[in-house]
Structure 1
């Protein structure tokens, strides 16, 4: 299901995701002539950064959100970015056959429950010898603040308004991810959980992050009460987890995956 992303608002509250993407791009060690597929490209800024590293190659970004892709195409027009393409599509149904040297993804796969199906599509999309580098929310990601949101959904009026059990993101651990990679025909090189600190100068920054990314919690609620839910989540979190430096810190856990499609014998 495509969620209702707001590209402008997300762009203003995704500094941490972009910083993690910078770190991940550096790990690609690009030669400059690769063809790269970016899964869950969002508003396109990370895919454009990858394309800038490929003077003799190209980058293709794919995202399920029509709004995100429309925003990305307007921001990164083909006449200015000739080696960059941005298309609407579902990473569960990748239509590519041995077209790419690298499949990349940052902060996207935890939105998709069926990682095995994604990995099967990645294996088809890669040329023999192709590489995979992915980072996503992993087991334990944002656990303290998610626990607060789940606690609220067990209370009135939120329990009645939400109308169901608390949602779950696809936060996998290394063991299950390795097994899914191998089943899809990919050879895992490194699958590990990495701790990250997401920090905000003010509670409003925390609320902006919740507002722009917590679709599983917000979309079932009435539009006019979503800001109330967001503010209460943030207020409870700030009260329970004060920081000596006066900032708001959320402990994040990222699952990072490196794998290869073995060359043909």
Structure 2
């Protein structure tokens, strides 16, 4: 899922094959929306569209708009969920930092997307404007310390002689926030915070090949820096080095994730 305009191209079909955990966590998050069934919902960072479609099924008398900055993702989502089969669902290409809607939605929902943006001030301003008065926002995203073991491996590899040349000028691309620094951003945007917590979750990959697929589709700010012909070797090196440092048991590869989750209301 991508919330801000990317400098690289996504492969939506590959993403869809390697995003089971995001979909599972999104379904769990939906249970906290407390829906009547007639709400209008904005899904920020809709990715391949399957979460937006699940939301649309929960509001048969309402409407869901999924937005994503990736043209490839939006096209894939729209093709997979045509209006004839999903009459209350639409997909729009839109950067989360430039949300154009005004007092249109009862709920704003976002799962595993907003951490792709470092500065969240324009995002929160746009979400606030898109909500109707008394509207609610529910978000889960990568939080401080998210996938720290993977980040550590990537940071080490990008400074090795074999890969250093491809990471000149590289800066950390994610906004992994903690409650203590994020709460003031929400308050400054005009929200009343109802709940905020930093959660620990574990992403379990069935084997090393599944782990490679996740690295290939979820860590594009790193992998896209490497020339295409060398990219499979870089990804394999990341996967094997992580496995060496975190051996676990059996074939599964486990990554500790940190998720910042919050609920807030526009007064």
Does residue 215 of the first structure (1) align with residue 220 of the second (2)? yes
Instruction: Describe how 1:1-265 pairs up with structure 2 within 5 A.
Output: 1-2=5-6, 3-165=8-170, 167-262=172-267
Deviation at 1:161, TM superposition (A): 2.4
In structure 1, how many angstroms separate the alpha carbons of the residues matched to 2:257 and 2:265? 26
Post-superposition offset of 1:168: 3.4
TM-score between the two structures when normalised by the length of structure 2: 0.96
Cα contact 1:47–1:60 (8 A) shared by 2: yes
Q: How far apart are the structure 1 equivalents of 2:64 and 2:233? A: 40
SS of residue in 1 equivalent to 2:229: helix
- List runs of 5+ in structure 2 lacking aligned partners: none
Q: SS in structure 2 opposite 1:195?
A: strand
SS in structure 2 opposite 1:131?
strand
Equivalent-residue separation in structure 1 for 2:56 and 2:158 (angstroms): 42
Mapped to 2, the partners of 1:45 and 1:69 lie a distance apart of 11
Give, in angstroms, the shift of residue 245 of structure 1: 4.3
The alignment of Structure 1 onto Structure 2 pairs a total of residues equal to 262
How far residue 250 of structure 1 moved from its aligned partner, in angstroms, is 0.3
> Counterparts of 1:95 and 1:126 in 2: how far apart (Å)?
11
CA deviation vs aligned residue, 1:106-130 (integer Å, no higher than 9, x gap): 0000011121110011111100100
Verify the 8 A CA contact 2:118 2:173 in the aligned structure 1: no
Once residues 27 and 256 of structure 2 are traced to their aligned partners in structure 1, the CA distance between those partners, rounded to angstroms, is: 19
- Contact 1:59/1:84, CA 8 A, preserved across alignment: yes
CA distance in 2, matches of 1:206, 1:41: 22
In 1, Cα distance between equivalents of 2:158 and 2:169: 9
Once residues 220 and 63 of structure 1 are traced to their aligned partners in structure 2, the CA distance between those partners, rounded to angstroms, is 22
Indicate the SS of the match to 1:77: coil
